[in-house]
Amino acid sequence: MENLFQPVLRGKTVIVGIGNPLRGDDGFGPALIERLCGKVSATCIDAGNTPENYVGRIVKEAPDTILLVDVAHLGLEPGQYRLLEPDDIVRSGLTTHDMSSHMLIAFLQDQTQATIVMLAVQPQQVLLGESMSACVTATLYTIEKQLQEAAHA
């Protein structure tokens, strides 16, 4: 199986997990960051549900690549995922957070020369107080392995 991230992660990379662990599958981004921290050569940032609070830190890293990780309503089966380019995100309006993803991306594009991509995972549920669903948890392990291979420490 081809590694989805091998051609994407180039140079200095920042991986940003976005989401709220108290809302079921919405905790995917922070859970991935927790699992990757110290196991990959990329800078890993858990931005929670307020990624706008971390733009200064992201910009200060002067990355070549920024990988945003979040759940998004893609119209896919729960647990399926896609890598989205900035134009795909801007056109789709995908977001489950206060600051829309396209605004975050626009700001990061303005402040860095980085290639920006988003790993978007289709959630099954994002209900307050629920655990991550089994299908999204399985995707978490798959993505963790692929990112460890692509951004090995």
CATH class of 13-150: alpha beta
Show me where the domains of the chain are located. 13-150
Do the Cβ atoms of 65 and 114 come closer than 8 Å? yes
Q: Looking at the predicted structure, is the pLDDT value of residue 86 above 80?
A: no
Q: What is the pLDDT of residue 151?
A: 82
pLDDT tens, position by position, 113-143: 999 999 999 999 999 999 999 999 999 999 9
- At residue 21, the 3 state secondary structure works out as coil
**The tokens of 43 are what?**
């800078």
Q: What is the pLDDT of residue 8?
A: 85
What is the DSSP track for 44-104?
Answer: EEEEET-GGGGHHHHHHT--SEEEEEEE---SS-TT-EEEE-HHHHHHHT--SSSS-HHHH
Q: How far apart are CA 147 and CA 124, in angstroms?
A: 22
Q: What is the pLDDT of residue 106?
A: 85
pLDDT tens, position by position, 16-42: 999 999 999 999 999 999 999 999 999
